[in-house]
């Protein structure tokens, strides 16, 4: 099926190590007549962390969902690791990927949600090995070994046989991170990973994310944890009404916001 996106001047990029991990070029998304993203242009280089902030309804989650093609963009282009997300380009025209191909693209992108979405009837270990064994067809023994390594990394080596309901929210979220990492993603997306947690549990999850960033993972993080954004992010983007109002070095944006809308938002949350 031909996409609703007209061909534009952008050349298709072959996968190249210096290419950004994520490149959004005037990305638009509508739900019916509601325009939610109105031309988002952003780049995340390999190994960089981008934090997204903005008021409720500004389109942050929608943008994340477009990056891993849970939503189809209506206009503009989105590339992950040099590949056009959800489309194939041939003879200057865009064709929507077959769902199977789209799913394959999505496998390389880990996503962590506000509400951990663990399988409640499976143990922690079973949660972590589910996708590697079912989707990637990795041998169970290998998946278990890798899961144990990842659970140790997020500080939960002793919880492998527990069920999600037996864990605190912070522990469940760390399992969700280990589960996403078990697919060896090249990009991790986080949608308000700590906003459902009791304040005393926020730090342990941010600690794991900080370690992940330090290990070189490319990350896009929707969060209102400004301490994390200031210290860990390479770039902070403030979204409002479906546009990026301003983006830049987090310390700069936070200390010296250029736009009234950013100032007003920051004064409400800081």
Q: Which residues bind ligand ATP (CB under 6 A)?
A: 31, 34, 36, 54, 56-62
Which H/E stretch holds residue 6?
A: none
Q: How far is the CB of 92 from ligand ATP (least distance, A)?
A: 30
Residue closer to ligand ATP (CB basis): 54 or 257: 54
Closest CA relative to residue 165, chosen from 124, 120, 129? 120
Please state whether 260 falls in left (phi above 0), alpha (psi between -120 and 50) or beta: alpha
Q: How far is the CB of 13 from ligand ATP (least distance, A)?
A: 26
Binding at 56: pick from Mg ion, ligand ATP, none (beta carbon under 5-8 Å per type): ligand ATP
Residue closer to ligand ATP (CB basis): 36 or 42: 36
Residue closer to ligand ATP (CB basis): 60 or 159: 60
Partner residues linked to 186 by β-bridges? none
Q: How far is the CB of 62 from Mg ion (least distance, A)?
A: 8
Taking each helix axis as running N to C, give the angle between helix 140-153 and helix 124-134, from 0 to 180 degrees, rounded to the nearest 10: 130
Q: How far is the CB of 193 from Mg ion (least distance, A)?
A: 11
For residue 18, CA distances in Å to 13, 81, 107 come to 11, 10, 22
Is residue 155 within 8 A of residue 208, CB to CB? The reply is yes
Q: State whether residue 119 is helix, strand or coil.
A: coil
The secondary structure of residue 2, as a DSSP letter, is B
Residue closer to ligand ATP (CB basis): 90 or 269: 269
Q: How far is the CB of 61 from ligand ATP (least distance, A)?
A: 3
Binding at 36: pick from ligand ATP, Mg ion, none (beta carbon under 5-8 Å per type): ligand ATP
b/e 73-99 (16+ beta carbons within 10 angstroms → b): bbbbbbbbbbbbbbbebeeeebebbee
**Count of helices and strands (H, E) across the chain:** 9, 12
Binding at 170: pick from Mg ion, ligand ATP, none (beta carbon under 5-8 Å per type): none
For Mg ion, the binding residues in 47-76 under the rule CB under 5 A are 61
Closest CA relative to residue 44, chosen from 217, 184, 254? 217
By CB under 5 A, residue 218 contacts Mg ion: no
Residue closer to ligand ATP (CB basis): 165 or 269: 269
Binding at 119: pick from ligand ATP, Mg ion, none (beta carbon under 5-8 Å per type): none
Residue closer to ligand ATP (CB basis): 6 or 57: 57
Q: How far is the CB of 111 from ligand ATP (least distance, A)?
A: 13
Q: Which residues of the shown chain bind Mg ion in the complex (CB under 5 A)? A: 61
């Amino acid at each position: 099926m031909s996409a609703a996106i007209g061909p534009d001047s952008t050349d298709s990029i072959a996968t190249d190590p210096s290419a950004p991990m994520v490149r959004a070029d005037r990305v638009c998304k509508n739900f019916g007549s509601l325009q939610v993203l109105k031309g988002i242009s952003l780049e995340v280089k390999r190994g960089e962390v981008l934090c997204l902030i903005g008021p409720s309804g500004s389109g942050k989650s929608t943008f994340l969902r477009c990056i891993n093609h849970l939503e189809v963009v209506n206009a503009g282009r989105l590339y992950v690791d040099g590949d056009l997300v959800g489309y194939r380009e041939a003879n200057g025209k865009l064709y929507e990927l077959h769902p199977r191909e789209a799913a394959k693209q999505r496998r390389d992108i880990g996503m962590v949600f506000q509400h951990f979405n663990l399988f409640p009837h499976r143990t922690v270990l079973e949660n972590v090995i589910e996708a590697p064994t079912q989707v990637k067809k990795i041998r169970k023994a290998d998946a278990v070994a890798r899961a144990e390594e990842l659970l140790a990394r997020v500080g939960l080596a002793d919880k492998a046989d527990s069920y999600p309901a037996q864990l605190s929210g912070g522990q469940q979220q760390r399992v969700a991170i280990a589960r996403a990492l078990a697919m060896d993603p090249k990009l991790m997306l986080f949608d308000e990973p700590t906003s459902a947690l009791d304040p005393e549990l926020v730090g342990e999850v941010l600690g794991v994310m900080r370690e992940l960033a330090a290990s070189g993972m490319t990350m896009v993080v929707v969060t209102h944890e400004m301490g994390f954004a200031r210290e860990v992010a390479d770039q902070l983007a403030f979204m409002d009404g479906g546009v990026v109002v301003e983006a830049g070095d987090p310390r700069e944006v936070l200390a010296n916001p250029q736009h009234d809308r950013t100032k007003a938002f920051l004064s409400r949350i800081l």
